[in-house]
Amino acid sequence: MKNTLKAYVAYGDHLTTLLFLVLLAGGAVMVRSATFGTKFAPLAERQTTWCFVAVAAYVLATLVPYEVWIEYSYILYGLCIVVLLGVMIFGHSVAGSRSWLVLGPVGFQPSELAKVAAALAGAGYIKDLSHKVIGIKEFSILTGIIALPMLLTLFQPDFGTATTFLPMILAAFYLSRMGLSQILKWAALAAALGGVVFVLGWFTFFKPYQKERVLTFLNPASDTRGAGYQVHQARIAVGSGELTGKGLYSGTQNRLNFLPAPHTDFIFGVICEETGFLGAVALLAVFFALLGRFLSTLLVARDMEGRFLVLCAFSVILYHLFINVGMVIGLVPTTGIPLPFLSYGGSSLVGLSLFVGLAANVRAHRFVR
């Protein structure tokens, strides 16, 4: 035990820990500001509590060597699948989707944990490969591993959360034996295909609210009272923060209820309004520093399964960040994807903390064999 601790002090990924803690603290403060004086005020305390749970999860994910996690990955994965199925049948329904597991006073979305379990199971599969090379067959199996909980989440139905599994499939693809140029060709093909699917989907399975979001994203001024209201008010919140912001607890868009969902999906709007350009860019810098750290870990990871875990953490967090921040600042259409570590919500916080912990774990154990 003493040796383990000593080794951790010597080799642990302290930069990641630091960035992670900064984000957690930022989240605790911003959720407080975003709920101050509203009926959601008690959520600030809850979020603080969740932060401690998140730290515990992080410590656990970092200290337990990741090969141990991988060893138990199939069990964890299986458990998650069972729970997801259970939730589908017995789960607590919020806003029309059965995605909540309620245990006493605590509600939890198992799909967030299923994401980590899927990453670990994928890593477990890679570990068991003798050649450690991801070809078509291996990629297909990895995709299957990830797609199973994703589909279960999709059928809850929770479209937004389901999409957060996709980056892990891309991670598996990216780590395949294909070179960069080949991957880029495939990416171009996928983009073209995606365009076709989008056009077809527009006329077939897209729900009216989804279409509306896209339309108002393309032209937010079209309806600042109806569908474009959120987008419009979010943009006012961001812009009116100016260089230095209005100060914590002093954002009028936030405090006077103009900003929709200020403590969850639009918390970045609160950050922009209250801490200004400087605060918002500083926060983004922390995020991108963390992601950059993951990339350097990717290069030094000692094995394929470690790389896979790091790239999963990287892609999942980047996806959240890109979609959420992009939505608030008007670069992508409105979706229900939270901002990692800052949006209110325990499940996502714990799930993503485990990812960061595992990435730090891979780095800490880069010399271990």
Partner 1 sequence: MNLPLDSGLPAKTAFLRVGLWTVFLLFALRLFYLQVLHGDYYRTLSENNYTRTIVLRSPRGMLLDRNGKVLCRNRVSFSLVLDAARGGSIDETLSAMRRILDFTMDRAQVDAALRRSPVASLAVLARDVPPSWLQKIEAHQQELNMLRIEMELRRDYPYGLYAGHALGYVGLLSPEDAERMKIKETDPFIEVGKSGVEKTANVRLMGVNGRRTAQVNSLGREVEDPKLRLPGVGVQEDPVPGKPLNLNLDMDLQTILENAFAGETGSAVFMNPNTGEILAWVSEPEFNPNLFSGTVSASAWKELVDDPTRPLLNRPIQGAYPPGSTFKPFVALVGLQEGLLSASTVFTCGGVWDYGGHPFHCWSKGHGTIDLITAIQNSCNIYFYHAGDRIGIERLDKWGRLFGLGRKTGVDLPGETSGVLGSPEWKAKRGLGPWYPGETLPVSIGQGYLTVTPLQLLSFYSTLATGGTRYRPRLISGPPEVLSTVDVSPEALGVVKEGLARVVSSGTGKGCQIPGVEVCAKTGTAQVVQASSGKNTYSLDKAERDHAWIAGFAPRSNPTVAFVVMVEHGGHGGDVGAKIAKAGLEYLFLGKKPGELIGPPKPASVPPPPLAEPEIPTDLPPEVPPPPPEQPTPEGIPQGTIQDQNGPAGVRP
Judged by CB, which is closer to partner 1: 60, or 304?
304
Q: Counting runs of H as helices and runs of E as strands, what totals does the chain give?
A: 16, 3
Minimum CB separation of residue 127 from partner 1 in Å reads: 12
What secondary structure letter does DSSP report for 234? H
Q: CB nearer to partner 1: give 50 or 174.
A: 174
Report yes or no: 86 and 46 within 8 Å, Cβ to Cβ.
no
3-class secondary structure, 355: helix
Q: How far is the CB of 233 from partner 1 (least distance, A)?
A: 8
In angstroms, the CA 91 to CA 85 distance is 9
Question: In angstroms, what is the minimal distance from the CB of 149 to partner 1?
Answer: 25
Q: Looking at beta carbons only, is 82 or 281 nearer to partner 1?
A: 281
CB of 201 to partner 1, least distance (A): 25
Q: Are strands 97-103 and 106-108 parallel, antiparallel or unpaired?
A: antiparallel
Beta carbons within 10 angstroms of residue 103's beta carbon:
7
Q: Which is nearer to partner 1, 91 or 333 (CB)?
A: 333
* Closest by CA position to 65, among listed 133, 7, 121: 7
Residue with tokens 């750290």: 293
User: Distance between CA atoms of 6 and 297, rounded to whole angstroms?
Assistant: 20
> What's the sign of the alpha-carbon dihedral 313, 316, 319, 324?
negative
The three-state secondary structure class of 291 is helix
Least Å from the CB of residue 257 to partner 1: 4
Q: How far is the CB of 354 from partner 1 (least distance, A)?
A: 22
**Residue recorded with tokens 């897209």:** 206
- 8 Å CB contact between 276 and 242: yes
Which CB, 265 or 303, lies closer to partner 1?
303
Helix (H) or strand (E) holding 286: helix 267-300
Q: How far apart are CA 101 and CA 156, in angstroms?
A: 12
Of 76 and 119, nearer to partner 1 (C-beta) is 119
Q: How far is the CB of 58 from partner 1 (least distance, A)?
A: 22
For partner 1, the closer of residues 55 and 166 by Cβ is 166
Residues that bind partner 1 (CB under 8 A): 36-37, 132-133, 174, 177-180, 183, 225-226, 229, 233, 235-243, 247, 249-250, 252-253, 255-258, 272, 276-277, 280-281, 284-285, 288, 291-292, 295, 298-299, 302-304, 307, 314, 318, 322, 325-326, 329-331, 369
The CA-atom distances, in angstroms, between 211 and each of 51, 94, 267, 338 are 36, 22, 24, 20
Beta strands in the chain (DSSP E): 92-94, 97-103, 106-108
When the beta carbons of 9 and 243 are compared against partner 1, the nearer one is 243
Residue 209 CA to residue 283 CA, distance in Å, equals 31
| Cβ distance to partner 1 smaller for residue 149 or 279 | 279
CB of 35 vs partner 1, minimal distance in Å: 13
Q: How far is the CB of 243 from partner 1 (least distance, A)?
A: 6
